[in-house]
Amino acid sequence: MKRVICGLEKLQFEQASIVAKRRIGLVSHPAAINSNLTHSLEILKNTGAKIEILFGPEHGFGGEAQDMELIEGSTQSFKGIPLYSLYGASKETLSPPENLVRGLDALVIDLTDVGSRYYTFIWTTILCLRVCHAAGVELIVLDRPNPLGGLQVEGAPQQPGFLSFVGLLPIPNRHGLTNGEIARMVARDEGLEDALTIVTMDGWERWMYFEDTRLPWVLPSPNMPTVDTAVVYPGMCLLEGTWASEGRGTTRPFEIFGAPKVNSLKLVRYLNTLKLPGVSFRPTSFKPTFQKHAHLSCKGAQLHITDRHLFKPYLTGVAVLSALKHVAADTFAWRLAPYEFVSDIPAIDLLTGSDVVRLAIESGASLAELSKTWSKGQKDWIEQSKDLHIY
């Protein structure tokens, strides 16, 4: 089986003329590499593009910043090129300043997404598209595989009033699209087509998980070390909306979870009786080195995926929330601190897309009842999104 040719390599070998000798800005991070591990910045330089400015998304251009770690705006440079942060102290910093974009011929985006609405790189792309359209500048998206494939969808689009930087537009938790396809959706719906160029992939098919592409995996953010992490992320990221650790500060983030005073044996018994498809749980203990419960002994569980094709990450994540509420009722709590620049809506509501799941868990709803809350929205999205497919 031939490997997939990502958008960066397509530009490198077939479409270099669209950037050669032009004034270019680049939005990128360490995972923006070709099959030989050469970074997009070096490849663009080799095409003869004139790199005027670099932009770093959440986690930074160098990828070293933790989640929601703010990065100062324009005080940096990288290899002598001005470097501007798109993740600063306010939501206004999430878009590139129009005056910095207006002097460019094109802004190039090369970002590795992980197929989940909460992962903010797709929204950085959309904000850049809007600014480029307003500035009369071309946005060039170098498309990359959705590491979870493009067949399975889970969750429902958010309800009105629950949009944020973990979902600027209504799409499901596991959306089944590539970065280029989401950009195409927004360009179509908002009349921005004249600003958008997508450099598509060759050889990517919707059934492929990342390993099937035969491309090298480079962690796109500090807590996304493996493809296994990406597989569980559309559900286990929900723990960010609770008091429980989602495993940050361990070597298996999002696969390990828990908190002090949780009865891990009782938790695992409860979860395994649900017979969730494609996953089993085992009790574990861990001590996070940073973030929630740092340096404290936590009890909880580890997910073990037994069949990726059967596994439903969002259903599993909601089941974990329900199980923790049931097993650790005395200590369970939702996160009330501001989350992704929003202070008046609980983080869990921003992540699930409404208050429905939270209220249902609080009322003791069964997992079957919980899953019904997103089934119609999920079904509708599957039909609607077919028109967006490039591959």
Residue 347: predicted pLDDT = 98
When the pLDDT of each residue in the chain is averaged and rounded to a whole number, the result is: 96
pLDDT at 74 > cutoff 80: no
The tokens describing 40, both together, are: 């997009």
Query: Smallest Cα–Cα separation from 291: which of 333, 229, 245, 351?
Result: 245
Mean pLDDT across 49-55: 97
For residue 127, name the pLDDT band (cuts at 50, 70, 90): very high
- Separation of alpha carbons 132 and 379, rounded Å: 33
Query: Smallest Cα–Cα separation from 165: which of 241, 58, 242, 85?
Result: 58
Residue with tokens 């891990």: 264
- Within the chain, which residue ranges are assigned CATH 3.40.50.12170? 7-222
For residue 75, name the pLDDT band (cuts at 50, 70, 90): low
For residue 63, name the pLDDT band (cuts at 50, 70, 90): confident
The alpha-helical segments, DSSP class H, found in the chain are: 7-13, 40-46, 98-102, 121-135, 179-190, 210-213, 227-236, 264-273, 313-327, 347-352, 356-362, 367-384
Residue 64: predicted pLDDT = 87
Which secondary-structure segment (H or E) carries 298? strand 298-305
Q: Report angle CA 75, 78, 79 to the nearest 5 degrees.
A: 135
Q: What is the DSSP string of 230-262?
A: HHHHHHHGGGGGBSSB-STTSSSBTTEEEETT-
Beta bridge partners of 25: 53, 107
What is the distance, to the nearest Å, from the Cα of residue 137 to the centroid of all Cα atoms in its chain?
Answer: 26
pLDDT tens-place string over residues 313-341: 999 999 999 999 999 999 999 999 999 99
Query: Smallest Cα–Cα separation from 112: which of 86, 148, 68, 67?
Result: 148
Q: What 3-state class would DSSP assign to 147? A: coil
pLDDT at 92 > cutoff 70: yes
Q: Beta-carbon neighbour count of residue 335 at 10 Å?
A: 17
- Separation of alpha carbons 384 and 379, rounded Å: 9
Per CATH, domain 227-380 is 3.30.360.10: no
pLDDT at 343 > cutoff 70: yes
pLDDT at 1 > cutoff 80: no
Beta bridge partners of 298: 286
Mean pLDDT across 208-221: 97
Q: What 3-state class would DSSP assign to 91? A: helix
pLDDT tens-place string over residues 269-327: 999 999 999 999 999 999 999 999 999 999 999 999 999 999 999 999 999 999 999 99
Residue 96: predicted pLDDT = 96
Contacts of 317 (CB under 8 A, 6+ apart): 232, 234, 235, 236, 237, 238, 239
Q: What percent of the chain has pLDDT over 70?
A: 99
Say what the pTM is: 0.96
Q: Beta-carbon neighbour count of residue 169 at 10 Å?
A: 16
Mean pLDDT across 126-145: 98
- Separation of alpha carbons 228 and 323, rounded Å: 22
The tokens describing 159, both together, are: 């309800």
Mean pLDDT across 362-372: 97
Residue 73: predicted pLDDT = 64
CATH of domain 7-222: 3.40.50.12170
- Within the chain, which residue ranges are assigned CATH 3.90.1150.140? 227-380
For residue 204, name the pLDDT band (cuts at 50, 70, 90): very high
Contact present, 107 and 50 (Cβ < 8 Å) = no
Residue 78: predicted pLDDT = 82
Crossing angle for the helix pair 313-327 and 367-384, to the nearest 10 degrees: 160
- Residue type (1 letter), 322: S
For residue 79, name the pLDDT band (cuts at 50, 70, 90): confident
- Separation of alpha carbons 167 and 122, rounded Å: 9
pLDDT tens-place string over residues 17-49: 999 999 999 999 999 999 999 999 999 999 999
pLDDT at 198 > cutoff 80: yes
Residue 10: predicted pLDDT = 97
